[in-house]
Amino acid sequence: MEEGKYAKELDVAVRVVHMACSLCQRVQQKLVSSSDDGHVKSKDDDSPVTVADWSVQATVSLMLSETLVENLSIVAEEDVQTLTKADSEGLLAAVVNTVNECLAEAPKFGLQSPPRALGTSQILEAISRCSSNGGPAGRYWVLDPVDGTLGFVRGDQYAVALALIEDGKVVLGVLGCPNYPLKKELLNYPQNYNQTKSKTSLSTTATWEKGCVMYARRDGGGAWMQPLIHGDRMLEWPNSATQIWVSPIVDPALATVCEPVERANSNHSFTSGLAETVGLSRTQPMRVHSMVKYAAIARGDAEIFMKFARAGYKEKIWDHAAGVIIIEEAGGVVTDAGGRPLDFSRGVFLENLDRGIIACSNAILHEKIVDAVYASWDSSNL
């Protein structure tokens, strides 16, 4: 890794996210190949949470605290309330086992394993210490251990997202996308990843490779992508990294639009009407779970992501921090619907968000979308 500010932090973060992706792949394979849903729980808002969510949070917490010599502050999505209930003994045991399996593989990613397997109390403590509330001052990490858990349990797209915020500004971001194809031609939107072209129709195994980690640091020389490692291979970094850029398309009629899959927290009807106003492609939008939408724009596979939340829903910082900096360092633009930068300094929520979020591959498309929002908003039923 090149030297400079945040170089060490980024080096560790990328390696840890690689570890987390490996963990998630193992858990997802078990989930989709088994009818046992005992390792999937529902939160108070009815969204799912799995063994992978808690296991990734514990692993990232442990590896960051052991590798970076500082008093770590971490904002993350999960807590231990469900895990510590009397009827969750089997779930907790699965988390402990999953974390220890992952930690044992740390040397493959250039990190150090603990000298012995960790106990239940140590892993619960690692999850619980991710309880920072963020804010405008100081340094803290922001983690979404499995962004897009619904896609994860369906065998579809999801992401592991880790960012570092300093004095309210995102200074580095890492986005692991274990099911995202390395070749754009394998994307078959709007169908999910498992319905893409048959592996047997491809000429080489390499062409089929899926899974990548994208990363960037503020003013750190662009955005980069590495393939995930498989089997017994060792992580070679930065030799395996390639730089990524946003798409050069500026004609709305040629642009690919990303939307959230789930309608519960998003106003798809307003987005659809807005797309028509701007003259975006009439083809079906790319609807994909999680921050994979940010990855698609950063890599040039799509040009626009719009999300307009339904009344009462508040965006969380862990759902956007890593993706925003990666798109920006790849040459794109991310703001709220009024054209203002997203404010990550107000705690765990993106407070004072103007109507929604707009991410574009370039300023020309972004300006057209923002202008259309102002023109269309009064007539919407948001």
Catalytic residues: 53, 149
Tell me if residue 74 falls in helix, strand or coil. strand
**How far apart, in whole angstroms, are the C-alpha atoms of residue 329 and residue 359?**
13
**How far apart, in whole angstroms, are the C-alpha atoms of residue 76 and residue 127?**
9
Kind of pairing between the strands at 223-227 and 210-217: antiparallel
**How far apart, in whole angstroms, are the C-alpha atoms of residue 297 and residue 107?**
32
- For 136, other C-beta atoms within 10 Å of its C-beta total 13
Half-sphere exposure of 161 (CA within 13 A, CB side): 30
**How far apart, in whole angstroms, are the C-alpha atoms of residue 160 and residue 36?**
24
Which ranges of 182-280 would DSSP assign to H, the alpha helix? 268-278
Tell me if residue 333 falls in helix, strand or coil. strand
Name which of 64, 55, 58, 49 is nearest 23 in CA terms. Answer: 55
The DSSP bridge partners found for residue 170 are: 165
